[in-house]
Amino acid sequence: MYFSHTFVLITLPFFTAAIPRAGLPTSSGIAIPIAKRVSSSLVGPSRYASRVRNSIAKIKRGMTIYQRNTGVPHPLSGGIKMSRKRDKTGSVQLADDYPELWYGTISIGTPPKDFTVDFDTGSSDLFVPSKSCGSSCSGHNAYDPSASDTSRDLRKNFSLAYGDGSTVSGRQFADYVTVSGLVAKDQTLGAATQYSTGFETSQFPPDGLMGMGFKSISVYLANPPFQTLFSGGAVSSSMFGFKLAPNGSELFLGGVNSYLFKGPITWVPLSNESYWQASFDMITVTDTVTQLGFSFPVVGKTETIFDTGTTQILGDPVGINAFFAALSPSGAKPAPEYGDGIYTIVSTDSEA
């Protein structure tokens, strides 16, 4: 046995599932199989720092769009800070924007053409590569609006900035988007003519991304596909649910899959229609020193964003410090030498 360091990190708190809007649970609905991207569990500190930076940049991007769309700042925007400091390595990371994404198949156009997309509750826009995208989209399936009878050119461009300074940009179209046989007609989507480095096939296996947040954080200021499905009557309930597991994962549209859980659902009010945002009561840590099983709170009532596009829990430095300090007898310590939001903890696991 020897001691080594493992790395842990932060974000705004998040969980692995989102269950929209109040309503009665129902088992009528449609399940879409989704797969988890297989990514290496061994990730160095600079890559972790890059992920944290990209997660923060993603949230900031959504909040900027929110303010542009609504004219008021996002209620949590005051709490998001990002250090201007670069990584100690000084190198520009390949932006691993979506390290743990969950993706499945949708189709676009008439006749329908299949695309794999990351189902992301932390954003609200659908985009796939355009046929006129060059090498930055290579290896991905491409959308050709001229080959679709139902496509409509919206005569607007779009551009999404990513944490590494690169962008996804292209043109907006409206077309039929089919998810498990459910059709969202005249759905606004982006046909990307430029993909950022984080969307290269080596880092991002699906073709595109399907945002499942609210219109207020849509860069197109358009209804996201699920809202279009609901307003068009393709689903009778405005609920969806995720099962995120090593196998058998699914996205369930138009309800919740009552075969996948036991007992009642705990409903919490949505605090803002932008992200899937609610508050949790507290985070407690069980005392490991005395082994008496006592739990004590380290973080109190906190606003939370449920984002299927990240596996990190981001939080404010005070709460995060309290959490990590309580984790082991010696506690975890901030390790700014590796980057913002990186902590080290002495590990007794020789595999670590």
Ligand X SMILES: *[C@@H]1O[C@H](CO)[C@@H](O)[C@H](O)[C@H]1NC(C)=O
Output 73 or 317, the one with its CB closest to ligand X: 73
Output 22 or 92, the one with its CB closest to ligand X: 22
Contacts of 188 (CB under 8 A, 6+ apart): 126, 154, 172, 173, 174, 220, 222, 223
Which one of 97, 120, 164, 175 is the catalytic residue? Answer: 120
Output 75 or 331, the one with its CB closest to ligand X: 75
Residue 72 lies near ligand X (rule: CB under 6 A): yes
Question: Coil, strand or helix: which one is 199?
Answer: helix
Minimal distance in Å, beta carbon 170 to ligand X? 8
Q: Looking at the chain, which runs of residues are DSSP E strands?
A: 4-8, 30-33, 35-36, 102-108, 113-120, 126-129, 152-161, 167-179, 182-194, 208-211, 240-243, 250-253, 272-273, 276-280, 283-286, 295-299, 302-305, 333-334, 343-347
> Interaction with ligand X in 247-266: which residues (CB under 6 A)?
247-248
Binding-site member from 144, 186, 200, 273 for ligand X (CB under 6 A): 273
Active site residue 120: yes
Residue 78 lies near ligand X (rule: CB under 6 A): no
Output 200 or 273, the one with its CB closest to ligand X: 273
Output 72 or 268, the one with its CB closest to ligand X: 72
Angstrom distances, CA of residue 317 to CA of 8, 16, 224, 299, 342: 13, 22, 33, 11, 11
Minimal distance in Å, beta carbon 300 to ligand X? 21
Closest residue by Cα to residue 199 from 305, 103, 274, 105? 103
Binding-site member from 78, 90, 181, 246 for ligand X (CB under 6 A): 246
**Beta-ladder partners of 173:** 153, 189
CA-based torsion, 96, 98, 100, 101: positive or negative = negative
Minimal distance in Å, beta carbon 246 to ligand X? 5
CB 218 within 8 A of CB 124: yes
Contacts of 10 (CB under 8 A, 6+ apart): 52, 312, 313, 314, 315, 317, 320, 341, 343
Site string for ligand X, 151-190 (x = CB under 6 A): ------x---------------------------------
Stretch that binds ligand X, among 94-102, 134-142, 245-253, 324-332 (CB under 6 A): 245-253
Which one of 118, 164, 307, 340 is the catalytic residue? Answer: 307
DSSP H or E segment with residue 228: helix 225-231
Stretch that binds ligand X, among 46-54, 87-95, 204-212, 246-254 (CB under 6 A): 246-254
Minimal distance in Å, beta carbon 171 to ligand X? 6
Output 154 or 183, the one with its CB closest to ligand X: 154
Distance CA 256, CA 263 (A): 13
Active site residue 307: yes
Minimal distance in Å, beta carbon 240 to ligand X? 19
- Which active-site residues does the annotation give? 120, 307
User: Given the rule CB under 6 A, which residues bind ligand X?
Assistant: 72, 75, 157, 246-248, 272-273
